[in-house]
Amino acid sequence: MNATIRKIGNSEGIIIPKNVLDRLGLKAGDTLEIREEGGSISLVPEQADLTEQLKAARMGMQKYKVALRELAK
C-alpha cells in the first residue's frame, strides 16, 4: 500500500485509509507513536496503559503542584 505526503496546513502528513484504521481499531483522535529504525518509519498505537498512567501523573502533579515545587528546592 502506498501513501503520498500531502500539505496539511503548515505541516505535512499522510492519509491512512479507513480500512486500515478499522482493522487496527483506530479512530480520529487516537495517538500514534512514530518510530524511526534503519531508514524506515513505523506508526505504533500508543499503549492505553501508558496513556492512563500519564493522565494520572499529570492530575497528581497538578494537585500537588505546591508540594512538588517545595520538594524540588
Q: What is the pLDDT of residue 5?
A: 94
Distance CA 40, CA 58 (A): 32
Q: What is the pLDDT of residue 52?
A: 77
Task: Tell me the whole-structure pTM to 2 decimals.
Answer: 0.54
Distance CA 31, CA 9 (A): 19
Q: What is the pLDDT of residue 48?
A: 66
* Phi/psi-derived region of residue 39, left when phi > 0, alpha when psi is between -120 and 50, beta in every other case: left
Q: What is the pLDDT of residues 12-67, one digit of tens each?
A: 999 999 999 999 889 998 889 899 999 999 998 877 677 778 888 999 999 999 99
